[in-house]
Amino acid sequence: MDPRVEAEVRESKGRFGEPAVRWLSLKQLVRTAQEVATATVFARFADKRDVMGSAPASIYALTPLEHTDPVRVDFTADTGDGFDATFAVARLLAGGMSTSDPAKFAGPADLLVLGGDEVYPVASAEAYRRRFTAVFRAARYCYPKPPGAASRVHGPPVLALPGNHDWYDGLSAFRRTFCESWTRMKDKVDDLGLTKVGGYEPAETTVQREVAGDWTTVQSRSYFAIRVHPRWWIWGVDSQLNAPIDPEQLAYFDAAKGKLNPGDGVVLCTSTPSWLEAEGERPPEYGDRETPLTTVVNFRRRYLGLPEDERLRMILTGDKHHYALYVPAEKQPAEDDSLKWIPGPVLVTCGGGGAFTSPTHHLKKSLSVPWGRQKQDVSRRVTRYGKLTEYPSVDESKKMRLQIWKMGWHNGPGLPAAIGLLLTCVFWTAAGDRIVHLPSIIAGVVLAVITCIYALTGIRGQRDSSPLARGIKVIVAGVAHAAVHLLAIALVVWLVRELPTLDGRPWWLWPAVYLPFVILGTLVFTIYLLVSDLFGYHETEAFASTRSEKFKSLLRLTFEDELVSVEVVGLNSVPPARSSKTPISEMTLHPHQVDHFGVPRTGQRFKKIPSHPTPEAPPPGGRESIVGGQ
C-alpha cells in the first residue's frame, strides 16, 4: 500500500478506515434521535443559510464561452458510510475507469458534484476527516496524475450540496470542509462576472484554494450555480431539512437567472427525490401545505420559467441509496377539464456513493408531477412519468431482504440486549401464581404503546388517505407486534411454570430467561421488519440493518453543445479494503454500465443511448499499472 494512503486511513489493530455504520445499534439510535431532534428544533429558529449571506455570492464558470470540447462532470451522493464502499466509489471518481475497458485510465472528471449526505452518521469535523476527506484523498493517491496535470497542485474542483446528515451539526462541518476558500483569496472573474474555476482558473489562483479529499473546493455557500459548458448550467439548491428556500438563496438564484442566455439548458441538483410524493396516476392536491415537492415546483416556476419553458432539462438527487430513472411519458394524455399534460425534466436519483443500499422494489412505476400548480389555473399542468431503469433491479432488491435476518449480528448487541431486557421486565410481572393480573396487563399495555410509537415512525398513509386510516394501520401493526412478543413471553412463562423443581422465583431465574428473551425478541423484531417491508413500511431501517455494500453507483455526465450524455456506472460489489496486508493492486474494481441515456438541450426531452457490453472481469492483479499507484 502506498505509504501516503496508509498514513491517511490507518486505524488501530491493523485495520484501515471506518467500518460501515451500525445503524440499528442502540448507541447509534440514541445518538441519531438526539441529533435529529436538536437539528429540527434549531432549524426552526435559526437558519445557517441566512448566516451565509455574508459570504460572496459567487456564480461560477468552468469553461469560457468559446469552449467547444466536451466537458465531463461526475455526480454521486450519500458517501462516507463505510470505508470499503466509499473507497471503491472514490477510486472510480479518481481513476475515471472506462466501463467498456476497465484498464483504461482517464483520470478524474473536470468537475465533481456531490449531491448530499457526504458523511454519516452525523456531521462533525472529525467525521468528515475520517469518513470523507481522508478516504477520497487516499483514492487520489492510488493513481498517477493524468498527463498535463503535473503543474496543478490541486485536483479538479468539487461542488457539494448538504443533505440532512450534513445539517445535523447546523452545517458547521460542511462549511469548514467545502466553503472556506474565499476567506484566503480573491476570486478571478471573467467579463460576465462569473468566478473562474477548474481549468478556466489561473494556476496561481488554484493553489490558494482549500482542498477536500484532494479535490479543490470553490464554493462559498451551501448552494451553487455553475456554467459547465457555454450552453449548459448546473444549479444546486439547499433545502435544509425540507425547509422552504431562504431569501438569501432566492436572491442568489435570481442573480444566476440573469446570467442565462436564451436556449441554455439547466441541470438542477436537489438533496431529496421530492417527486416521489407524486406517485400514481393523479397529481397530489396540496392546498397551502408546504412540502419538498411544492418547494421545488415553486422554485422552478420562479427562476426557470413556466413549465412550457425548456430550460430545466434534468433533476439529479441522492438521499435514496440506489439509482432510479423516471422519464416523461412519450405520449401525454389528452387534455380534460382539470389537467393539462405537459413535458417535464428527466428525474434521476443516484445515491450510491457508499451508504447502505436502499430498496428499489417499492418505487412506483408511474408518477404525476404537478409542475404547473397555480391557484389561478383553470387546468393544472402536470407531467406523467414512467420508471425506466432502477439499480439494483427489483428482483435483486427483493433478494436483499434475506439479509434482514442478520439484523442482530450486523448491528451489535445493544439493541437485542435492550429488547431482551424489556421482555424480561414484562416477564417479571407475569411469572407469579397468576399470569394475567393487573401488573401483567399494565406491562402488556406499555409494551403495545411502545410498539405503536415505533410503528408510527415507519408507517405512512397513502397520499389521499385520511389521518384516521393511517392511525388504524399504526394501531394494528403496533398491537400485532406487541402480541407476538407477549406470546413469546407467555411461552417462557409456561415453560418455567412446568419445571418440577422450581419453587417460587429463585434469583437465578432472571439471568436464565434473559438470554432466551434476547433471542426471541430479536427474532420477533426481525420478522416485524420483514413483514413491514412487504407492505412498503419501515424500508429505511429494514435495509439500514443489512449494512449492504452492494450496488454502488455514480453518474458520468458529458456535456456537449446540444446534448448531455449520462452514463451510469455501477459496482455490483466492492472489494474488502480494510486489511493492512492487502495491496491496492489486488483490490480490483469491476465497474459496469448500468444505463446510458442523453438529454438534449432543446426539443426532445430524452434520448436512449445503446449500452456497450460489459467486459469479463479481469484476472486478479491484472490492473496493477492503474490501481497500484506508485
Q: Residue holding cell 455514480?
A: 554
Pairing of strands 195-196, 211-212: unpaired
Q: In what order do the strands lie in the sheet with 552-559?
A: 211-212, 215-217, 157-160, 111-114, 71-76, 552-559, 563-571, 592-600, 607-608
One domain for residues 125 and 196: yes
- State the pLDDT at residue 282: 67
Question: From the centroid of its chain, how far is CA 232?
Answer: 25
Q: Residue holding cell 434534468?
A: 314
How far apart are the C-alpha atoms of 372 and 342, rounded to whole Å? 9
CATH number, domain of 565, equals 3.60.21.10
Asked whether the predicted pLDDT for residue 348 surpasses 90, the reply is yes
The number of beta carbons lying within 10 Å of the beta carbon of residue 402 is 10
- State the pLDDT at residue 620: 36
How far apart are the C-alpha atoms of 247 and 472, rounded to whole Å? 40
How far apart are the C-alpha atoms of 17 and 8, rounded to whole Å? 9
Q: Please state the domain count of the chain.
A: 2
Domain membership of residue 11 (yes or no) is no
Q: pLDDT confidence of 401, banded at 50, 70, 90?
A: confident
One-letter-per-residue 3-state SS of 172-200: HHHHHHHCCHHHHCCCCECCCCCEECHHH
Reported as type and span, the H/E element at residue 349 is strand 346-350
One domain for residues 364 and 440: no
Domain membership of residue 406 (yes or no) is no
Cis bond leading into 70, ω under 30°?
Answer: no
DSSP-derived letter for residue 577 is: -
* Helix, strand and coil in the chain, % to nearest 5: 40, 20, 45
Domain membership of residue 404 (yes or no) is no
The mean-pLDDT minimum among 307-316, 455-464, 495-504 falls in 495-504
Asked whether the predicted pLDDT for residue 334 surpasses 80, the reply is no
3-class secondary structure, 235: strand
How far apart are the C-alpha atoms of 131 and 120, rounded to whole Å? 8
Question: From the centroid of its chain, how far is CA 309?
Answer: 29
Mean pLDDT of 158-166: 90
One domain for residues 254 and 373: yes
Among 489, 520, 544, give the residue marking a domain's end: 544
How far apart are the C-alpha atoms of 171 and 173, rounded to whole Å? 6
Q: Where are the alpha helices (DSSP H) in 501-546?
A: 509-534, 539-544
How far apart are the C-alpha atoms of 511 and 38, rounded to whole Å? 37
Question: From the centroid of its chain, how far is CA 289?
Answer: 25
Q: Which residue has the higher pLDDT, 382 or 348?
A: 348
Closest CA to 283 of 224, 368, 182: 368
One domain for residues 118 and 28: yes
One domain for residues 430 and 570: no
Contact 441, 531 (CB under 8 A): no
What would the grid cell of residue 317 be? 438527487
Domain membership of residue 146 (yes or no) is yes
How far apart are the C-alpha atoms of 518 and 422, rounded to whole Å? 9
Among 544, 570, 591, give the residue marking a domain's end: 544
597: exposed, middle or buried (Cβ count in 10 Å: 0-12, 13-18, 19+): buried
One domain for residues 457 and 395: no
| Residues contacting residue 344 through CB under 8 Å, at least 6 positions apart | 307, 328, 369, 371, 383, 385, 605
One domain for residues 352 and 494: no
Of 38-42, 340-344, 439-443, highest mean pLDDT: 439-443
Q: pLDDT tens across 259-307, in order?
A: 998 889 999 999 899 888 887 666 776 655 678 888 888 888 888 776 5
- State the pLDDT at residue 484: 92
Q: Residue holding cell 461542488?
A: 159
Beta-bridge partner residues of 553: 570
Would the pTM of this model clear 0.85, i.e. be above it?
A: yes
Domain membership of residue 332 (yes or no) is yes
Q: pLDDT tens across 580-614, in order?
A: 666 777 778 889 999 999 999 888 888 888 876 66
Contact 272, 540 (CB under 8 A): no
Contact 354, 89 (CB under 8 A): yes
How far apart are the C-alpha atoms of 269 and 345, rounded to whole Å? 12
Domain membership of residue 154 (yes or no) is yes
Q: Domain of 449?
A: 412-544
Domain membership of residue 133 (yes or no) is yes
- Quick one: angle between helices 26-45 and 414-430, nearest 10? 100
| Residues contacting residue 87 through CB under 8 Å, at least 6 positions apart | 9, 17, 135, 138, 139, 574, 577
Among 544, 569, 600, give the residue marking a domain's end: 544
Pairing of strands 71-76, 552-559: antiparallel
Question: From the centroid of its chain, how far is CA 280?
Answer: 23
One domain for residues 383 and 441: no
Asked whether the predicted pLDDT for residue 125 surpasses 50, the reply is yes
One domain for residues 468 and 589: no
- Quick one: angle between helices 509-534 and 467-497, nearest 10? 150
One domain for residues 532 and 568: no
One domain for residues 210 and 76: yes
Asked whether the predicted pLDDT for residue 618 surpasses 50, the reply is no
One domain for residues 236 and 331: yes
Asked whether the predicted pLDDT for residue 515 surpasses 60, the reply is yes
Domain membership of residue 616 (yes or no) is yes
Contact 157, 197 (CB under 8 A): yes
Q: pLDDT confidence of 81, banded at 50, 70, 90?
A: confident
Asked whether the predicted pLDDT for residue 150 surpasses 60, the reply is no
How far apart are the C-alpha atoms of 212 and 137, rounded to whole Å? 8
Asked whether the predicted pLDDT for residue 436 surpasses 70, the reply is yes
- State the pLDDT at residue 463: 58
Q: What does R_g of the chain's alpha carbons equal in angstroms?
A: 26
Q: pLDDT tens across 24-74, in order?
A: 888 888 877 777 777 666 655 566 676 776 788 899 999 999 999 999 999
